Amino acid sequence: MYNKKFLFLISALLLFLVNCSYSSLQTQISEKQNIKEWFLSTKYGSVESSITWPSDNNPYPSLLMIQSSDRDNQKNTKELLSLIGYPIIAMSISLPGIGNSTGPHDFGGMKSVESIKKAINYLVKINNNQKKIIFLYANGFGANAAIIAASKVSNVELLILENGIFEPQKIIKKSPENIKIRLKKFLLDKEYKTIFRSSLHEIDKNQAPIFIIRNIRGKNYELEQHNELVKSLKMKKKKYKILDISEKSKSLIFQKLIIKKRVVPIIEKYFKKEIKFNYQKN
């Protein structure tokens, strides 16, 4: 019987080889676990996708992770592989313009929304659970697209958002230089208003409760955007819960496995009904 560390290393090697060749691969890495990496087709192009799932074909809930920044995309494989052995179907996609997904970057706009919807539909199709339970995790610009996408489908059980950006025009002056250049070009596009919509204006259409992870030591514009989201949720009397964390920004090398250490415990508490959602109070 292979131990988890050995399986992790083998899986990482397989996905590394796939990333080098940009091809599709599906393999059974043990008697209990499958893994696949491929490009999911959408009407806008292709989306870099990865998935791991138990081999026994029993019904499991699904977790869809949205990678919406260049930094996060580098962690994509590591995050996914950390979930091997958990009773869950775990899938990750990189939004348009991220990694090897068809660009350009639309900062959580309609192309991103379509990509997330396509991934959700894929999970619904392959999951033999009678009740299709999908947990959706997104951060940054992906959080905006995740809220809109979740409002257009019926299978999202819980939205988990971290450091969400919902109004690009308000954060451009405070963004890192590499993001600022691309964001400025995006906002000057004549079609900007037709390809992007802030989810804050559509929060009333969302039926899934929202679990918000707020880093109280995060960037000022991230905290400002958090406040705007909570304001909209209160106004529309939507279910939400805030988890405050305190973390300094770290280099990519020293970043933690966010999904395994932070998101999985939230899902476990949700199933145990230990999360009390707020309607109008923090």
* pLDDT, tens only, 242-280: 999 998 765 444 456 788 889 999 999 999 999 989 864
Chain position carrying tokens 């639309």: 106
Using CA atoms, how far apart are residues 8 and 89, in angstroms rounded to an integer? 16
All structural domains of the chain with their residue ranges: 4-271
- Please tell me the predicted confidence (pLDDT) of residue 251: 46
With residues binned 3-state (H G I as helix, E B as strand, rest as coil), the percentages for the chain, rounded to 5, are 40, 25, 35
pLDDT, one tens digit per residue, over 105-149 is 899 999 999 999 999 999 999 887 777 899 999 999 999 999 999
Q: What pLDDT score was predicted for residue 230?
A: 96
In the chain, pLDDT over 90 holds for what percent of residues?
Answer: 53
Mode of pairing for the β-strands spanning 240-245 and 25-28 = unpaired
- Are 80 and 166 contacting, i.e. CB atoms less than 8 angstroms apart? no
State the pTM of this model: 0.86
- The pLDDT of 193-199, averaged and rounded, is 87
Does the domain at 4-271 match CATH 3.40.640.10? Answer given as: no
Question: How would you classify residue 86: left for phi > 0, otherwise alpha for psi between -120 and 50, otherwise beta?
Answer: beta
pLDDT, mean of residues 40-54: 92
Q: Cβ distance 91 to 137 under 8 Å?
A: no
Residue 109 DSSP symbol = S
Residue 189 pLDDT level (bands cut at 50, 70, 90):
confident
